[in-house]
Amino acid sequence: MIVFPGCKINLGLNVGDQRADGYHNLETVFYPIPLNDALEIVRAPVDSNEAIRFSCSGLQIDGNPEQNLCIKAYRLLKNDFKELPPVQMHLHKTIPMGAGLGGGSSNGASALKLLNDQFRLGLREDQLRTYALELGSDCPFFIKNEPCFATGRGDQLQRIDLDLSAYSITLVNPGIHVNTGWAFTQLRLRKSKTGQTFNLKTLPQLPVNEWKHQLVNDFEAVVFEQHPEIEKIKTQLYLAGAEYASMSGSGSTVFGIFPKGQWSVPALPDHYFIKTL
């Protein structure tokens, strides 16, 4: 069976105090976008002496393969479902990594869903979200995969009625890997003069062309200081006519939201990953 894990952008990202478990409280709106990887899982041959065989293609995935969230998803379920058979997995990557798009989280969540469906484990959506949270804070969203107001670690999800189908979304990634752990350690928590921030839960009631006056991604100040090249992308997207532009997550992808048919190509280096959806 094959599935096509997508990714997300963050519409606003407010980072609160550190929690007792070491994570930070967050407020954000997750919005799914149709830039997809491909994940295939098949039952391994009967003579296989390995629980899982993993291969990949497309964009190069650095690091230890055992840390891949698809493999972790299999091992997580195998702990509770001993009958889960050996499998072969192949992941084709097109979503940039370390980019604030949640591609790895989406891969892990998709592996959980695919294994559940393919081998009839009978897990409900809420149970899949519990497993997904063990893989990472963004993973439960990709079980739900619809526009959500998120709080807690990003795992407390409430669906919101937000439709951006009248717009084009342009993603720009300069190929800079921003480590999320580093970004949290460097974060200077933003406090507005009133001590309050815009209520992201009410985002659907605010016109898109007003978002730039209300929404803030708290990671931008830290990441832009370290990587001015990323800040320049945001500026260029606005100059190209974006109604709203922001960095997604802890970066390095920046996105611009344009009225359909009104997008003009900003002058960006050839090696950048640029995709309009």
Give the active site residue among 37, 138, 155, 218.
138
SS3 58: strand
Residue 107 backbone dihedrals phi, psi, to 5 degrees: -60, -45
161 counts as catalytic: no
Q: Of 3, 10, 156, give the one whose Cα is nearest residue 92.
A: 3
Give the active site residue among 8, 93, 113, 144.
8
Query: How many Cα atoms occupy the beta-carbon half-sphere of 232 within 13 Å?
Result: 10
17 counts as catalytic: no
User: What would the DSSP string read from start to end of 129-179?
Assistant: HHHHHHH-TTHHHHHH-S-EEEETTTTEEEE-----TTEEEEEEE-S----
* Contacting residues for 31 by C-beta, under 8 A, at least 6 apart: 8, 9, 10, 11, 147, 162, 164
Crossing angle of the two packed helices 103-118 and 125-135, in degrees rounded to 10? 140
CA-to-CA separations, 159 to 29, 43, 141, 199, 255, in angstroms, rounded: 9, 35, 10, 15, 22
Cα–chain-centroid distance for residue 224? 19
Which residues are identified as catalytic?
8, 138
